[in-house]
Structure 1
Amino acid sequence: MCHKAKVLNQTKNGYLVSCETCMVYHLTFGHFYLELTEMEFAYFGAFIDKIDANHWENPYCDTQIKRKIPIPTEQPNLFLMLNRTELEELKRLVFYKEPVDPFHLIGVEEVDYDYIKN
């Protein structure tokens, strides 16, 4: 259980929290949640930084699969699947510059709303 949790970064689909008590990063993004030690967080960041979206999207461009970029896990039959937009957002989330301002106002592009003009 985290006692001194501090929000480091937040995006539309996720947030990154650091706990000073248990020295663990809590990364929530979309439908997945990861608890990472400092070393694991550094390795994860280095791994996602090297992912080439073109490498994964081009061979499967004619398929109906929406998410084509895999992030492997220790379980050999379990992958976290992302599309290019989600990968870029995950990178922004992980490679934060400074702690997030809790009073930050979201921009228009961050609002998830389907506008239908009648």
Structure 2
Amino acid sequence: MYHINFTNFYIELNKEDLEVFKRYISEIDVDYWETKYDAMPIKRKIVVSTIQNNLSLLFDRSEFDAFKNLLYLKTKTVKDNLTVLDIDYTLFLN
């Protein structure tokens, strides 16, 4: 059994289902989804449909790339320190 925990979702897959899921993820056309929702004021434009009709996973490009790296166990080496612009967070002052 494989357990995938990424941001705010958790998936359990057996070995065969994991391979099918990896193949499905690798075939997603990121450019298509970003173009389709280009005019929409939403951050996450890449849609991963699931077998459950009322559930889809939404990603932006960097999240999708990180998710693929997790699935394929690719490690990403850190080259530079984060800058303020790298952090996508809305600051609320109290």
TM-score normalised according to structure 1 size: 0.62
- Tell me how far 1:114 sits from its aligned partner: 3.3
- Number of residue pairs matched? 84
Partner Cα distance (2:84, 2:7) in 1: 18
TM-score normalised according to structure 2 size: 0.77
Partner Cα distance (1:110, 1:32) in 2: 27
Alignment of 1:1-118 (within 5 A): 24-96=1-73, 107=78, 114=84
Q: Normalized per residue, which structure has more helix?
A: 2
Distance 1:109 1:71, change over 3 A: farther
- Tell me how far 1:55 sits from its aligned partner: 0.5
- What is the DSSP-based 3-state SS (H/G/I as helix, E as strand, rest coil) of the residue aligned with 2:31? helix
Q: Normalized per residue, which structure has more strand?
A: 1
Q: Say which one has the larger Rg.
A: 1
Ranges in structure 2 where 5+ consecutive residues have no aligned partner: 86-94
Distance 1:82 1:110, change over 3 A: farther
Answer 1 or 2: higher relative contact order, Cα 8 Å, separation at least 6. Answer: 1
